[in-house]
Structures are given as C-alpha cells and as structure tokens.
C-alpha cells in the first residue's frame, strides 16, 4: 500500500508542476494527451484508494493561482473545469468505442428520470475568459485563474476587435456575464510566427500558448498586435426580463447581440446524435480554421442543468469528449539546420514519413539547441511526433527504451551552414544566429530590403516585391549588386518598362550620397536602430573608425550596453561583412565626414559633465557641443553620477555641491587638455 501512496504523491507533484507551467507560464511541458493520461490515472487511484486522497490534488482544483502582476478579481460564479471522456478508436463498433459517452448519458437520464437532450459544441483550444457587462457596456474581463479568483485583463480584452464593447438590445440587461474562449486562428498563427521570425523575435510553439501569453501581457499595446479572436459559449449571469428555457436559446441570444458562437453548435436529442456529431467534427477537424481538441456536450434544458448541479470541480450536466491523440511514432533519420531570414538557426528533424492528423509528415521542428538538450534528442531515436496546433509538426518526446547504441548526439555547428560565417548567441536568448548578415544568402532578401528602405539608404522603388523579383532572377545576391544593375537588365523583367527601369537606376545612383548614420542603420546590424546609428555616427565620425572600435570604446557611448556592443563588434569582425562594406565604398557610396568628431576620447566619451561659472575661451553652448561631439553628456545639476564639473570664474553652488560629493572639479585649462 505504501507503493500506491508514493505513486499518488508523485502523480500529484508532477501534475501540479505541469499545471503551474500551463496556467501560469503559458508553457506546455508535456502534451495534452500525456497530461490527460496521467490525470485519469490519478482519478482512478484516488477512487480505488480514497484514504490517500489529498485536498491539494489537481483532481480537487481548477486551473492555478492567478499571477501577482495582475489585479485579482473574484468570480461571482466559480469558473469550473469540465470532466473528460475518451473514445477507444481502435474498437470497431460505436457502442464499444464510445462507451464512456453512453455511460455519461445514462447517468444524466437516471438522475433526471427522463431522456435528456443536449447541445454539442467544439472544445476550443484556447484561453477561457469571463466578460462582464453592466448596462450593456463591457466592464471587466477575467481569466479563469484557480476557478474562484482570476486575473483582471480588461485592458487587453478591449483590444480584441470581435468582442462587443457595447451591447444594443431591448430590453438591455442590467448585468450580463458571458464566458468563452480566446484563441488564434490557424492561418493567423502561421502569419504571426512568420512576422516574429522576420523581426527576430520568439517563435511561438502553438496557438494556445501564443493566445495565453498575449492576453496576459502587462502592456496592452503588445496584445493589440496579436490576432486574437473570441468565441462565446455560455451565459453565466443575466439580469433581464428576457427568459430562457434552453441553453441553445442562450447561444442564439449571444449571436443576436453580436457575439460569435461559430457555426458548429448543434442540438442533439440523444447519445446517438452526440456520437454522430463527434464523428463528424473529428473527420472535419483538419479543415476547421482554428484549433479544437474535442467537443463539449451540455444538457439543453436549463431547469435540468440546475437539478443535475455540480461536483467539486465540474458540472454534472456537461462533459468534454476529447479527440484521440494526433501523435504517431517515427524515427529521426537526420537533424539539419535551417537559416531564417533574420539569421536565426533552427534545427529540423528529418524523420521517416508518417501520417499525423491526415497529413504526411517528414520534417519536424526542434525549435533550438536548448529544446534538443531538454528532450535529449539523438539522431536515430524513435520519437512521438505531433502537429503542434495542427500546423507545425514537432517532436513530443523520445522513446528512450528504443534508443539504439548507434544513436548519435546532435551538436550545433560552429559556423553558418549556408555562408560559413561565425555564429552568435545573446545571453538572454535561446536562438543562435549567423553573423554574416550582408553576405549570407539565406538572409539576402531581408538584408537588401532593409538596406534600400526609406529610413536607411532610401532607394525609391526598391521595395520587398522588387527585391524578391531581382533575387529570383539572380540579378542581385548581396547589397553590392544593387549598384551594378543596368537599365538593360531591368527592362527584360516582367512589369518593368523603360521608364520604371530608368527611375529605379536613377534612385540607386542618388542613394550613393547619404549620411553616416543612415549608412550604419542600413547595414542591418542586430540591435542597432536609428537612434543608436546616430550616436555611433556622432561619436566615431567615419565608418572606418567604427569598424575598428573595440567593446570598451563602444560601451562608453550613452545607451549602448554590453549586448549592443557585442552585436556591433561581432558584425564588423566578420570578414564577409567587411568585404561588402569596402565594395560599397569603392562603388561610390559617400557621406559627409564630421571633422569635429574625434575617433575616441576615453576621458570624455560616456562621461557626464556639468558646466558652472564663466568660461573665457568658450560660450556655454560651444563647450557643450565639444563634449557631445566626443560622446560625452552635459547635465544641469551635480549628482554622484557626475564625472566632471568644469568650473569657470564666479562658480557658485554647483561647485560647492561637487566638493561635498567628491566629484572631480577641473579648470578651463584642464578642460582644454581633456578634450584635446
């Protein structure tokens, strides 16, 4: 019996960990199918051995505690979970295959002493949310949380375009609480990840995690950029003269006042119609434009729902019928590296072809090196494969007991497999990137489009579509090739007449005269935006000076920390990038050189100055300009962060404060020596 208790305790600990990760960190440590299997096993053991039942067990709880970063909000009516049933799809007869569903229907009918009818709806794979309206106006949005207390995410909810902010109907409810699911549609999720990759940001593992992370952003402006969508599935509270007899009437009411309830909900008169609904939706699953992982059945009559009531964590009148796992076993033949448009390296497993969810899969993403290490993946391993969010195939886990002694541990390459440039990895990122941004052919479209953009070199007419056309026709391979294009090459292309070709060549020639900050920005150095490019241009004066700057010099510049300095240093240390820059300059790219800018003055660059009193050789503005041209900063007040106080004649309280704080005080002559 002690072994049984140990097994129960381990299941509780593991499921609690998985729950916390899923509900609080929006990360799935195991697949839904694995979780359901463990959860069902725990219920079975607790039923057979009730003496070991623990009040902290996940079977006694809903969700997880809300995050402290959000204001907490209490659910007036608890936001409970649903019990699950499964079908044994290996069985040949429906009666045996859907035994759990038939038993659920029998329990309901026995309790009601009548034959129940139901409403069947999809089980959305998203984030449950409760919306509260007061006199028709959206008042509050609350996450599930632990079922009793959730997170107030009202500002984020209001950024979702298909959630009504105001309800118009007569009579207008004094109070209305609508519950539903926030998700990201399949196509929108694919486009979101394409954009994330283009911007060099985190790639989301699946739509559910992306939706959960988006709705729990502390900055609602970020939430507003995510393609979130809301499906309503229930009215929990309503204060109105309108009366409802059935749950289906409530759904139609929600549709009437502006909520999307989807086109899949259906009234079913008995268990056979529920089975038909399940089989139909399961067959259509891969063609539904959003993620679902099962269907939900609810007793239709509201009075019957009230009679059936609730158990501890779930209603007796509703149940979730989960779909079978869309996972299949396969073997990893090889692991190869793909280089994305932003230089991000993604390991991809080449697997023995296997059908998953109706689609033949031969490749599966491994995300990054950390993921490979965490899952202990080797070449030659037998693995379970699933379609994450029904879109991107991924490796769920390794079948360790099948590992051969010939399995090969995978090691990331030291250089880019496309161009041979060295690889870089920021401390706070899991992604490894190619440093050959100007040279690497995998990044060429992105690099060329950015180089020609308005805020960079500004070649009018050389947008993303034209760049793609020129690359596909092998007329340009790097940014250098832009300046080798001829009118004769262009007029042979589709949609290019003589006038358009002539205009583009003129724009290319005009772009040769630019400014240093625009040229630096155009190079596409990671973490270097417009403002940083201006600071670099102002400090170093020429591109040559910048190319030879070391990490210490770079970090002396205001607002440039270690991460940005390393990005700049890595970029210019790559010989391929140096070669491209030299070719650009030889082809006639020019910019005005700021003769007042020193290469680098370690006594001034990055230092903070305060000017006080009357200076003999400089006006206050002239002294300030000299300091700023050398990368220093001038402030009006003295603090512990001040490096120098330049004291002229008749210095006053600022000099006294500098002495009190032991800040270095220099004369005008010492200042002249310093800036020299």
Binned at pLDDT 50, 70 and 90, residue 97 comes out as confident
Percent of the chain with pLDDT over 90: 46
User: In the predicted model, what is the mean pLDDT of residues 90-101?
Assistant: 80
User: In the predicted model, what is the mean pLDDT of residues 35-47?
Assistant: 75
Q: Which CATH class is domain 327-409?
A: mainly beta
CB-based burial label for 300 (10 Å; 0-12, 13-18, 19+)? buried
Residues of the chain with CATH 1.10.287.610: 2-61
Report pLDDT for 390: 47
Query: Does the pLDDT value for residue 599 go beyond 60?
Result: no
Report pLDDT for 446: 84
Write out pLDDT tens, residues 264-295: 999 999 999 999 999 999 888 878 999 898 99
User: Which residue has better confidence, 323 or 60?
Assistant: 323
Which residues is 338 bridged to in the sheet? 346
CB-based burial label for 143 (10 Å; 0-12, 13-18, 19+)? buried
Binned at pLDDT 50, 70 and 90, residue 598 comes out as very low
Angle of helix 32-48 relative to helix 2-24, nearest 10 degrees, comes to 140
Q: Are strands 327-339 and 344-356 parallel, antiparallel or unpaired?
A: antiparallel
- SS (HEC) of 336-378: EEEECCCCEEEEEEEEEEEEECCEEEEEEECCCHHHHHHHCCE
User: In the predicted model, what is the mean pLDDT of residues 512-541?
Assistant: 90
- CA neighbor of 437 nearest in space, from 534, 320, 572, 603: 572
Task: Flag the least confident range among 20-24, 116-120, 163-167.
Answer: 20-24
Report pLDDT for 247: 97
Q: What's the rounded Cα separation, in Å, for the pair 438 and 427? A: 23
Instruction: Note the CATH architecture for domain 84-322.
Output: 2-Layer Sandwich (3.30)
User: In the predicted model, what is the mean pLDDT of residues 545-554?
Assistant: 86
Report pLDDT for 618: 85
Binned at pLDDT 50, 70 and 90, residue 389 comes out as very low
Q: What's the rounded Cα separation, in Å, for the pair 354 and 330? A: 7
Report pLDDT for 406: 92
User: In the predicted model, what is the mean pLDDT of residues 549-569?
Assistant: 84
Binned at pLDDT 50, 70 and 90, residue 426 comes out as confident
E strands within 226-311?
228-239, 266-268, 292-299
Give 648's contacts (C-beta < 8 A, 6+ positions apart): 611, 612, 613, 614, 615, 616, 668
Report pLDDT for 28: 57
User: In the predicted model, what is the mean pLDDT of residues 518-537?
Assistant: 90
Dihedral through CA 562, CA 565, CA 570, CA 574, nearest 10?
A: -170
Percent of the chain with pLDDT over 70: 91
Q: Are 126 and 60 in contact (CB under 8 A)?
A: no
Query: Does the pLDDT value for residue 187 go beyond 80?
Result: yes
Active-site amino acid positions:
123
Structure token digits, residue 676:
């020299």
Give 423's contacts (C-beta < 8 A, 6+ positions apart): 345, 412, 413, 414, 415, 416, 432, 433, 434, 435
Q: Considering the entire predicted model, what is its pTM? A: 0.50
Query: Does the pLDDT value for residue 66 go beyond 60?
Result: no
Residue that the structure tokens 């899949």 belong to: 264
Binned at pLDDT 50, 70 and 90, residue 588 comes out as very high
Sign of CA dihedral 623, 627, 628, 633: negative
Report pLDDT for 124: 93
Query: Does the pLDDT value for residue 46 go beyond 80?
Result: no
Report pLDDT for 107: 95
Binned at pLDDT 50, 70 and 90, residue 392 comes out as low
Mean per-residue pLDDT over the chain, rounded: 86
Task: Flag the least confident range among 8-12, 80-84, 627-631.
Answer: 627-631
User: In the predicted model, what is the mean pLDDT of residues 332-356?
Assistant: 88
Residues of the chain with CATH 1.10.150.20: 429-596
What does CATH list as the number for 608-675?
A: 3.40.50.10190
Q: Are 647 and 666 in contact (CB under 8 A)?
A: yes
Residues of the chain with CATH 3.30.470.30: 84-322
Binned at pLDDT 50, 70 and 90, residue 90 comes out as low
Query: Does the pLDDT value for residue 489 go beyond 60?
Result: yes
Query: Does the pLDDT value for residue 69 go beyond 90?
Result: no
Query: Does the pLDDT value for residue 65 go beyond 60?
Result: no
User: In the predicted model, what is the mean pLDDT of residues 468-494?
Assistant: 92
- Looking at residue 310, the DSSP 8-state letter turns out to be B
Task: Flag the least confident range among 150-154, 428-432, 577-581, 665-669.
Answer: 428-432
Q: Are 633 and 658 in contact (CB under 8 A)?
A: no
Report pLDDT for 29: 62
Query: Does the pLDDT value for residue 18 go beyond 80?
Result: no
Q: Superfamily assignment of 2-61 in CATH?
A: Helix hairpin bin (1.10.287.610)
Task: Judge: domain 429-596, CATH 1.10.150.20.
Answer: yes
Write out pLDDT tens, residues 228-253: 999 999 999 999 999 999 999 999 99
User: Which residue has better confidence, 25 or 435?
Assistant: 435
């Amino acid at each position: 019996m002690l072994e049984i208790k140990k097994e129960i305790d381990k299941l509780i600990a593991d499921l609690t960990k998985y729950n916390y990760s899923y509900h609080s960190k929006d990360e799935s440590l195991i697949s839904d199918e694995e979780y359901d299997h463990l959860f069902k096993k725990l219920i079975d053991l607790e039923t057979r051995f009730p003496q070991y039942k623990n009040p902290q067990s996940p079977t006694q709880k809903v969700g997880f505690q809300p995050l402290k970063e959000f204001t907490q909000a209490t659910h007036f009516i608890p936001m409970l979970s649903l019990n699950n049933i499964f079908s044994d799809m290996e069985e040949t007869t429906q009666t045996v295959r859907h035994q759990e569903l038939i038993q659920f229907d029998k329990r309901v009918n026995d309790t009601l002493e009548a034959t129940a009818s139901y409403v069947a709806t999809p089980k959305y794979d998203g984030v449950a949310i409760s919306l509260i309206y007061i006199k028709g106006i959206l008042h509050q949005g609350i996450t599930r949380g632990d079922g009793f207390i959730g997170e107030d995410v009202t500002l984020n909810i209001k950024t979702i375009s298909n959630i009504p902010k105001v309800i118009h109907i007569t009579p207008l409810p004094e109070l209305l609480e609508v519950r539903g699911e926030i998700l990201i549609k399949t196509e929108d999720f694919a486009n979101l990840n394409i954009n994330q990759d283009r911007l060099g940001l985190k790639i989301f593992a699946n739509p559910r995690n992306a939706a959960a992370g988006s709705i729990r952003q502390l900055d609602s402006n970020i939430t507003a950029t995510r393609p979130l969508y809301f499906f309503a599935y229930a009215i929990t509270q309503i204060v109105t003269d309108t009366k409802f007899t059935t749950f289906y009437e409530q759904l139609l009411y929600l549709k009437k006042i502006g909520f999307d309830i989807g086109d899949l909900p259906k009234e079913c008169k008995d268990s056979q119609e529920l089975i038909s609904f399940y089989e139909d939706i399961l067959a259509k699953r891969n063609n539904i434009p959003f993620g679902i992982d099962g269907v939900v059945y609810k007793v239709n009559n509201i009075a019957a729902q009230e009679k059936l009531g609730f158990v501890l964590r779930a209603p007796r009148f509703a149940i979730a019928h989960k779909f079978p796992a869309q996972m299949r076993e396969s073997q990893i033949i090889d692991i190869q590296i793909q280089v994305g448009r932003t230089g991000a390296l993604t390991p991809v497993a080449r697997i023995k072809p296997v059908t998953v969810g109706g689609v033949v899969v031969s490749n599966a993403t491994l995300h990054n090196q950390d993921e490979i290490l965490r899952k202990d993946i080797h070449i030659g391993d037998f693995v379970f494969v699933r379609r994450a969010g029904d879109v991107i195939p991924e490796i769920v886990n390794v079948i360790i007991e099948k590992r051969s002694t010939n399995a090969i541990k995978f090691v990331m390459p030291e250089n880019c497999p496309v161009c041979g440039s060295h690889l870089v990895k920021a401390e706070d990122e899991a992604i490894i990137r190619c440093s050959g941004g100007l040279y690497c052919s995998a990044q060429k479209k992105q690099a060329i489009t950015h180089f020609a953009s308005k805020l960079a070199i500004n070649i009018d007419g050389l947008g993303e579509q034209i760049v793609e056309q020129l690359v596909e026709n092998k007329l340009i391979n790097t940014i250098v090739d832009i300046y080798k294009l001829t009118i004769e090459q262009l007029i042979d292309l589709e949609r290019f007449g003589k006038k358009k070709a002539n205009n583009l060549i003129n724009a290319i020639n005009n772009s040769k005269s630019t400014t240093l900050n625009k040229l630096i920005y155009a190079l596409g150095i990671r973490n270097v935006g417009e403002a940083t490019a201006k600071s670099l241009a102002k400090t170093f004066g020429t591109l040559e000076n910048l190319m030879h700057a070391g990490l210490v010099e770079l970090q002396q510049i205001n607002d440039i920390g270690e991460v940005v300095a390393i990005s700049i240093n890595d970029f210019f240390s790559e010989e391929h990038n140096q070669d491209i820059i030299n070719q650009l300059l030889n082809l006639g790219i020019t910019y005005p050189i700021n003769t007042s800018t020193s290469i680098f003055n370690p006594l001034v660059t990055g230092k903070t100055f305060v000017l006080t009193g009357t200076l003999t050789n400089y006006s206050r503005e002239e002294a300030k300009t000299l300091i700023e041209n050398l990368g220093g900063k001038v402030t009006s007040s003295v603090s512990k962060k001040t490096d120098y106080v330049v004291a002229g004649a008749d210095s006053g309280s600022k000099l006294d404060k500098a002495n009190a704080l032991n800040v270095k005080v220099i004369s005008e002559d010492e200042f002249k020596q310093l800036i020299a």
